[in-house]
Every structure is written in structure tokens, then in C-alpha cells.
Structure 1
Amino acid sequence: MSIGGIEAIGFTPLAAPVVSAPASPAAASGPGSDFGSMVLDGIERLEGVQDKADGLAVRAASGTLPNIHDYTLAATEAEVATKLTVAVRNKAIEAFSEIMRMQVG
């Protein structure tokens, strides 16, 4: 599954991660640490998008949200971001399973 097409249509549910170089070579424990931090950062940003949609849903239900379309947009963004995250997770699990089936030797 290619996720590059999402940016092509102008929709970016999650900002691109900012990757900075480690202070020293000893501070980096390898490529796994960068991937792990990117995954955690993406999950935190997804949670933020969902929290925003939840907050707007409460305001819409209580009648304090002046523009209902703000909630609609936030809910749709949260839905698409969640679906994208699940798709990436499924592909990662599929890749891991494939690696585990490989013959060694």
C-alpha cells in the first residue's frame, strides 16, 4: 500500500516527523531507535487528532460549537488518520510475519 498519494491530493493528517541527528554516535542505538521514535510520535499525533475531534463532538452536542462543519472536518480527519495507522500497522505485521517465515542458512 502506498501512502504517498495522500500528500498528492493535499491531505496530510499527520505532520512529517522531524528527525534530528543524535548528539553523539554513542547516543544512537541504531536504526531501530529512529523507527521506534517515529512510531511513538505518530501514535501521539493520532491521539491528538482524535482528542480534538472528541472535544469538538462534545461542544457540538452541547450546542456551544458555532460551526458544525469544524466537527465534521475534525471527525473525518481522525477517521482517515486512524484508517491509515491501521493500514500501516497491518503492513508492518505482514512484513514481520514474512520475515519470520524466511529460511535461515
Structure 2
Amino acid sequence: MSVSGIEGLAGAAGFTPYVAPQVPTAPAAATSGVSGVSASRSSGPDFGDLVLDGLDRLDGVQRTSDSLAVQAATGELENLHDYTIAASQAAATTQVTVAVRNKAVEAFTEIMRMQV
């Protein structure tokens, strides 16, 4: 998804727009398990790696927003809208990260309630 005008900001004041990671849609290869039960394993990145990558990107977006806030406060920032965009992007990224975390905790809690 692209928002017109954001692409031009890539070089402005070190601002790098957040790009969501793309998950490959390769078919999963089935492997034989115990008692004939098959388990599938994707050749894509591990879930843990995706989580760490997302947190690294969140940290980068927040650092960019913070540095632009300092530049705006000191008068070094020529275009105030760069900071406004970065702050909005940091807020949205944080909200998505918190929502994903909440869903993961909710799923874990639901799994722990299951009786074996």
C-alpha cells in the first residue's frame, strides 16, 4: 500500500517510511510425523524472526519520530509536516504492535485453558 507523497520523504532528514514485512506464500511441505500424523513446515522465516524484525522496525520508527521532534523543537527542521507524518506513523505502528501482542496473549491464554 502506498500513500502519495511519502515516497519523496525517504531522503528528507533521515526519514524512512515503515514498510510492512512481506510473508512469502510458498506452499508448505508436509513431513511425516509420529503415527502417520503429518506436520507442515514452511520454508519462510520463523515467527520469532518476524516478531523481532517488527520490534526492530517499531524501534526505528520511534527513534526517527523522536529525532524529528527534537529537530522541530530546536528549529532545525525545515518542514514540520515531516515530523507530523513520522509521529503519526509511530503512533499507528505502536497501536498495531500492541494489538498483535494482545492477540498473542489472548491466544496463549486460550491454549492454556484447553484440557488435554
TM-score normalised to structure 1 length: 0.72
Residue 14 of structure 1: how far off its partner (Å): 3.7
Q: 1:50 aligns with which of 33, 39, 62?
A: 62
Q: Larger C-alpha radius of gyration, 1 or 2?
A: 2
What SS does the aligned partner of 2:46 have? helix
Q: Which residue in the other structure is 1:71 paired with?
A: 83
The percent of aligned pairs where both chains have the same amino acid is 58
**Aligned residues of 1:57 and 1:71 also touching (Cα < 8 A):** yes
Taking the aligned partners of 1:13 and 1:48, their CA distance within structure 2 comes to: 9
* Distance across 2 between alignment mates of 1:47 and 1:58: 16
> More strand per residue: 1 or 2?
2
Q: Which runs of 5+ in 1 are unaligned?
A: 1-6, 20-29
2:20 is aligned to 15
Higher helix share: 1
Is the CA contact (8 Å cut-off) linking 1:49 and 1:77 kept in structure 2?
yes
Give unpaired runs (5+ residues) of structure 2: 4-16, 25-40
Across the two proteins, how many residue pairs are aligned to each other?
85
TM value normalised by structure 2: 0.66
RMSD of aligned residue pairs (Cα, Å): 2.2
